[in-house]
């Protein structure tokens, strides 16, 4: 592997966003440090950082670079949330069949180090540790939340699990259901040690938010998940999608991070299409056929986790 080169870009604005108008289809490949200067979306004062990393290619077609999100270490927003540490703020496009494909890696200590706002900081003590990973908005001024692809934390298993939100009632849906997401045979991110724990591994997610349904497809390099329809739900989306950021509004923060408390994003593709994008050719190296592992039918998503909040 090449020597790791981290170029830290500091945002000093009292605000936290560099808004960027885009037209669809749109892609971000993060080939060099200059490619991220206009996509940083970081809350000032939260201790997080957004930087470009030069890495050996992680999959077929990888350009050898990534955006690294060193997650918030200090709660902000009234001492409650960690705030934004993301790429975006992509806006003023228009999508009825919104899709975003994200190739990424979650570090092996992201779950272990997260804390909510309680004092002393702990987990599950009245706050929230949700990472609102791909947040989409629409309507006048792009102010109406019309969908979410998030990572929900489970205290019992000390892991994060992917979930998608129905924007009408603002409820989350995830594999297995229940109000507290605890992975049982589900894909999750912990320390990278247990079955179906994909922390520390490159993974491809495709999030779809259409006018009447939403879904999440998953592909892992080992082929256990191969363009698998992991979640699908009926939705009541009120507006067209016109704004996106990727990487997270963090309800939690990480007061004691280490070198593995990060999220790497290798590429982002955004489209307005009823047809799935699918994983890159050659991404799967370990067998498995397209659609393998599990097919989650309509209505198989779990119960809600309450309001999505900020």
pLDDT tens readout for residues 258-298: 999 999 999 999 999 999 999 999 999 987 677 665 443 33
Q: How many CB atoms lie within 10 A of CB 62?
A: 19
pLDDT at 177: 54
Question: What's the gap between Cα 81 and its chain centre?
Answer: 17
Q: How many CB atoms lie within 10 A of CB 61?
A: 14
Residues near 221 by beta carbon (within 8 Å), at least 6 away in sequence: 59, 201, 202, 203, 283, 284, 285, 286
Q: Is the pLDDT at 9 greater than 90, yes or no?
A: no
Confidence of residue 17 (pLDDT cuts 50, 70, 90): low
Higher pLDDT, 167 or 95: 95
Confidence of residue 154 (pLDDT cuts 50, 70, 90): confident
Question: What's the gap between Cα 125 and its chain centre?
Answer: 24
pTM: 0.88
Distance between CA atoms of residues 35 and 301, nearest Å: 37
pLDDT at 301: 33
Q: Is the pLDDT at 68 greater than 50, yes or no?
A: yes
Confidence of residue 207 (pLDDT cuts 50, 70, 90): very high
Confidence of residue 309 (pLDDT cuts 50, 70, 90): low
pLDDT at 169: 81
Q: Is the pLDDT at 182 greater than 60, yes or no?
A: yes
pLDDT at 6: 35
The pLDDT mean for the chain works out to 84
pLDDT at 310: 53
Domains and CATH numbers, the chain: 20-272 (2.60.120.200)
pLDDT at 210: 95
Q: What are the φ and ψ backbone dihedral angles of 48, each rounded to 5 degrees?
A: -80, 170
pLDDT at 79: 82
pLDDT at 5: 33
């Amino acid at each position: 592997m090449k020597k790791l080169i981290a170029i830290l870009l500091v945002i000093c604005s009292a605000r936290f966003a560099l808004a960027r108008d885009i037209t669809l289809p749109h892609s971000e490949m993060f080939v060099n440090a200059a490619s991220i200067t206009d996509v940083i979306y970081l809350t000032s004062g939260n201790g997080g950082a957004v930087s470009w990393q030069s890495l050996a290619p992680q999959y077929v077609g990888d350009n050898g670079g990534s955006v690294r999100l060193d997650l918030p270490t200090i709660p902000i927003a009234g001492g409650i949330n960690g705030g934004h540490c993301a790429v975006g703020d992509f806006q003023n496009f228009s999508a009825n069949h919104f899709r975003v494909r994200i190739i990424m890696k979650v570090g092996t200590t992201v779950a272990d180090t997260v804390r909510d706002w309680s004092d002393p900081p702990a987990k599950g003590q009245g706050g929230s540790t949700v990472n609102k990973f791909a947040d989409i908005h629409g309507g006048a001024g792009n102010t109406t939340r019309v969908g979410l692809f998030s990572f929900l934390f489970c205290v019992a298993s000390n892991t994060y699990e992917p979930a998608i939100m129905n924007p009408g009632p603002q409820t989350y849906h995830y594999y297995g259901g229940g109000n507290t997401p605890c992975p049982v045979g589900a894909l999750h991110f912990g320390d990278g040690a247990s079955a179906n724990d994909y922390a520390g591994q490159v993974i491809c997610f495709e999030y779809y938010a259409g006018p009447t349904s939403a879904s999440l497809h998953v592909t892992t390099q080992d082929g256990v998940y191969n363009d698998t329809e992991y979640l699908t739900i009926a939705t009541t989306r009120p507006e067209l999608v016109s704004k996106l950021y990727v990487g997270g509004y963090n309800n939690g923060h990480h007061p004691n991070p280490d070198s593995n408390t990060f999220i790497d994003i290798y590429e982002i593709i955004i489209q307005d299409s009823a047809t799935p994008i699918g994983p890159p050719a050659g991404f799967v190296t370990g067998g498995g056929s397209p659609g393998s592992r599990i097919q989650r039918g309509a209505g198989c998503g779990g119960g809600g986790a309450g309001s999505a909040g900020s």
